Amino acid sequence: MTKKKAFRHLLRVGDLTREEILHVFGRAEEIRTDPGRFRDRMARETVGLLFEKSSTRTRLSFEAGIHQMAGDTVFLGGESQLARGETIEDTARIMGGYLDMIVIRTFGHDRLERFSRASPVPVLNGLTDSHHPCQALSDFSYISRIFGTLKGIRMAYVGDGNNMAHSLIEGAALLGVDLVLATPTEYRPDPQIIREAEEKTLANGGSVVWTSDPLAAAKGVQVLYTDVWTSMGQEAESTVREQTFRGYQVNRELVEAADREVIVLHCLPAYRGKEITAEVLDGPRSHVFPQAENRLYVQKSLMLFCQGKE
């Protein structure tokens, strides 16, 4: 099957310009407030979900979003021939011949890059070890809706310098957010990603700063964000990580150091009593569950954008 439509891949937040991100956010808000306008936008299209990692929110939000726009989905987990040694490139060509779009959730980011180079249809990153762009873009969209702006918003990320941290760094640099990341020194974000972000802040405003002090990072911020200490594939390190990250918990002390109107975000799943206390997660400053719901609207918008649908 020959695919002739112009399209885009989304592998990381940095693949987009500031203007493109704001366009996606604007359409996501239209989708949220008037979903009926978009109910046929993916009619007669089929999207493949190739997931080599477990998922709740990413799978559900993509599948629901596709179905709500009259499309269909095919899910492939560990049973695909990739698990038996078929090459990534061959898999991409075959899947692209059957499908109109592919969402991938995998381990090494290089696997996603190889797949996208061979794919004749749009490929969206549903999470890799290095980046989680759909989550970060959804979160910045949600922050913008709550505060009415992103320019000058003060945000702290506390925890592991992981894929979530990397995508938040890239987004903050493009959107003018003042982001402070507090992680243990040995788990700090990729220095190259921080350097690239610092260059972009010169044009877009905002700032990206790293520290090892979570209390200093939280001081006066309007957004307080955390993620799990042990990501998928790192389970063997969990005991060591829990010891190292013990002082990087989002708790009452950090919330009280932040702005009085701070919102607390977490990309989930959450482990109460580890990276965040139950008191904070279930408390009045938590926006974690409406934050998760926003994935549906932004990912619908991203799919339409990557397909070149205006």
Amino acid at 219: K
CATH 3.40.50.1370 fits 134-291, yes or no: yes
CA distance linking residue 227 with residue 269, whole number of Å: 8
Task: Please give the pLDDT value at position 79.
Answer: 80
Q: What is the DSSP string of 207-262?
A: EEEEES-HHHHHTT-SEEEE--SS-TT-GGGHHHHHHHTTT--B-HHHHHHS-TT-
**163-175 and 18-33 helices, crossing angle to 10°:** 100
pLDDT digits (tens, 9 = 90+) for 206-243: 999 999 999 999 999 999 999 999 887 788 888 899 99
Q: What is the pLDDT at residue 1? A: 42
Q: What residue has token string 């995998």?
A: 106
Reply yes or no on whether the pLDDT at 18 is more than 60: yes
Helix 133-147 vs helix 163-175: crossing angle, to nearest 10: 50
**pTM of structure:** 0.96
| Cβ atoms 259, 223 nearer than 8 A | no
Cis, bond preceding 269 (omega within 30 deg of 0): yes
pLDDT digits (tens, 9 = 90+) for 254-292: 999 999 999 999 999 999 999 999 999 999 999 999 999
Q: 179-206, pLDDT tens digit by residue?
A: 999 999 999 999 999 999 999 999 999 9
Domain boundaries, the chain: 13-131+294-306, 134-291
218 close to 257: Cβ distance less than 8 angstroms: yes
Catalytic residue ranges: 105, 132, 135, 227, 267, 295
Q: Are 13-131+294-306 and 134-291 the same fold in CATH?
A: yes
- The architecture CATH gives domain 13-131+294-306: 3-Layer(aba) Sandwich (3.40)
Position 81 scores a pLDDT of 87
Q: What digits encode the pLDDT tens for the residues 62-91?
A: 999 999 999 999 999 978 888 888 999 999
Is 80 exceeded by the pLDDT of residue 3? no
